[in-house]
A and B are shown apart, each in its own frame.
Chain A
Amino acid sequence: MIRDFVYLGPSCLKEALTFLSEYKDKCKIIGGGQSLLILMRQGLVSPEYLIDIKHLKELNHINFDSKEGLKIGATTTHRAIEKSSLIKEHFPVLIKMEQNLASIQTRNWGTIGGNLAHADPAGDPGPVLIALNATVKIANKDRERTMPIEEFFLDYFETALEEGELLLEIQIPVTPPKTATVYEKFNIIKNEQAIVSVAASITLDNNGLNCTDARIVLGAAAPIPKRVKEAEQMLVGQKLNDGLLDQVCKKASEEAEPVADIHATEEYRRYLAQVLTKKMVKNAWKQAEVSA
């Protein structure tokens, strides 16, 4: 049962931030509420005040600039991202990720900001955005700050957002040349949550031979979307070969910190991390070779 609360519909971002600073831990932000309302119904969250930012135009945008890269407002719906021609052109991996994220109904109403702030370790955007080297813009009523999205996730359902702070925007830098990013999740029923997911981003030198940068991120295999940095390092400076791939994906599964639940044992999750890492690194590499 959802407990009663005071509903606050700020008319602008400034007012929203003022409410936040005023009600602190007594309040919660609601975007699309696709996760929050379920928690509230289960009585896991029962705020006294609910601040609705869903309708704030200032936070609902998708912009691309060849220097600054992509900027997605926090209340942009998943569906808007999925349908954006800008994103399709510059970050197709986000489209594929969105197409397999929950149901169309949920994507129609749910927001990217809400998804990230919920910080579900099995969430899809986290790993991809980390692989894309994204940063997030955060603000309270007095100041703004940005941080790599990698540092945004602290623990299960816990983020770096401090009291009074709001997630405003996701910023994705322009993709370096000879770079490709891919993502895949393993699940039994399509569009449901990942049992394990892997995002990989590979950058090659100008001749498309050696790896100059690699980012590999595991989803649902740790308390947070987890970069497997040792595995990444093994790739840097190397040429693609099966022996290397085997070592890399083994390392990735060693770096994973999965837990068992009713959907999979810890061992199986580790194993999936290995299988998917191999597949993703290979795919990213192949795409990077042919990319501009």
Chain B
Amino acid sequence: MYFAGIDVGSLTAEAILLDGSRVVASATRAARANPLESAREVLGEVCRARGIAPGEVRHTISTGYGREAICAEGLAEENLSEISCHGYGAWCLVPRVRTIIDIGGQDAKAIVVDADGGLDRFAMNDKCAAGTGHFLEHMGRTLEVELGELGRLAQSARRPVHMTSRCTIFVETEVLHFLQRGHCRADIAAGVADALAERVAALARRVHPSRELAMTGGVAKNVAVRREVERRLGLPLVDLRFDPQLVGAYGAARLAAQRGGNP
């Protein structure tokens, strides 16, 4: 029996197809301006991959920015907040996980789940983009480095630079000045990763993170950021052994299975 989760965020769109509780297909794409297009694409992609018609999916849950539009369009039976979905998804992957830091395109969230993966408490950045994927995206562009490369690059840093500011706009100018003054990209990338981790850690502290800490969302792929977050919180990050970008969609799919009457 098939279940699906669709997560359409501000930067990327993902879908996961489950057979029972087993992942049988997944898709990731850059988000289009219109979330419905993104949703149709990723949903179609996973169904094609499995060779089934969208109609054969028993229950679908949408999440992320586009969740309500997608639901209204009938592409999903119901929609849930990405906060619940990321929390539940991470918990399904590693049931001992209690604190999840999800860094999306414009929102960063710190989520605490209970022993059953239910939402206990959470915090969300209400003011500043400094701790989000958005920040990294812009720094990557300024540094002319592929987003995926940023983390590895930062790891080769010898003398990491220190960003004096927290504000995205400022840091961006600082990055330019460091470049113009001839600092190497690796050292600057490390500085950027630390600046981001600093904000992320500040957010995480609001939910009083526990030892079983995991990171989801695209930024979680950045090894340098992971390391800095661990250092600043003094907590090791649990490895979910799963594409962190897909955790939201996975959580939505597992909730679809749970709520859509998976025997």
A binds B: no
